[in-house]
């Protein structure tokens, strides 16, 4: 292909052959560089997608983290019929989680967190447009949009059934018990979501406080007997 010929009028002569070879080499190099660039670009896109996914999820449980929850709620707020939906926002805390860590170790504490995450996923899976997240140590959120005016009662029933099943299946020496604060609002709007986060948090701590007070009264009654 790149042989030479002494005839200057022949396109296969030394000048033309040399120039053609250089052009072909340049083209091949550009093609190789472009293929390399395309591969690198594809790798970068995949890496970026993977990092995006990691940045939105809790590493231990696989649930959404706080950032992922915020994005999911924003997307739900932007749906065309969002203002017609009933918003349920629940803030959930594991009762006695410190005791699990203290008595059985932090590895067992991680197991408990994963078990609760499985419960959250099971519950969310029984409703349309529900999301789950772990937003702190032993703090979880289940939130969603519904047309059901009885969504609050249904949610609590499904949640308790799921917890009971998990306690039976796990066979642990301890039981998973949850304090649940929940808020129901008409309209899945940004303002309602913002208010619900605060209200559900306060409701959960009130539930936990009431449960502790009840336990103290029961313990005192047993002591007197």
Cβ pair 56, 65 in contact under 8 A = yes
Query: For position 140, what pLDDT does the model report?
Result: 97
Terminal C-alpha separation, the chain: 106
- Which domains are present in the chain? 1-56 (no CATH), 66-224 (3.30.70.270)
Taking the C-alpha atoms of residue 188 and residue 100, their distance in angstroms, rounded to an integer, is: 36
pLDDT, tens digit, 9 for 90 and up, residues 7-32: 444 444 555 556 666 766 776 676 77
Split at pLDDT 50, 70, 90, the class of 177 is: very high
Q: Has residue 197 got a pLDDT over 50? A: yes
Mean pLDDT, rounded, for 156-182: 94
Q: Rounded mean pLDDT of 99-125? A: 95
User: pTM higher than 0.85, yes or no?
Assistant: no
Q: How far apart are CA 77 and CA 87, in angstroms?
A: 10
Mean pLDDT of 105-122: 96
The pLDDT of residue 161: 96
pLDDT of residue 47: 61
Reported as a single tens digit per residue, the pLDDT across 61-111 is 999 999 999 999 999 999 999 999 999 999 999 999 999 999 999 999 999
| Rounded-to-integer distance, Cα 180 and Cα 132, Å | 14
């Amino acid at each position: 292909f790149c042989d030479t010929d002494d005839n200057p009028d022949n396109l296969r002569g030394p000048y033309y052959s040399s120039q053609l070879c250089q052009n072909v080499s340049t083209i091949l190099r550009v093609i190789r560089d472009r293929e390399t660039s395309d591969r690198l670009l594809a790798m970068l896109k995949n890496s970026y997608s993977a990092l995006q996914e990691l940045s939105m999820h809790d590493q231990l449980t696989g649930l959404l983290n706080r950032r992922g929850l915020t994005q999911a709620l924003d997307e739900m707020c932007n749906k065309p019929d969002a203002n017609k939906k009933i918003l349920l926002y629940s803030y959930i805390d594991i009762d006695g989680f410190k005791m699990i860590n203290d008595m059985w170790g932090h590895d067992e504490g991680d197991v408990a967190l994963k078990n609760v995450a499985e419960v959250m996923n099971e519950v969310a899976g029984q409703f349309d447009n529900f999301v789950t997240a772990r937003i702190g140590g032993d703090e979880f959120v289940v939130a969603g949009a519904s047309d059901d005016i009885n969504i609050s009662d249904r949610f609590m029933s499904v949640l308790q059934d799921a917890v009971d099943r998990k306690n039976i299946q796990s066979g642990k020496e301890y039981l998973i018990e949850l304090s649940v604060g929940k808020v129901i609002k008409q309209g899945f709007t940004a303002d309602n979501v913002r208010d619900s986060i605060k209200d559900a948090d306060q409701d959960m701590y009130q539930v936990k406080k009431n449960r502790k007070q009840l336990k103290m009264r029961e313990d005192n009654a047993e002591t007197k007997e």
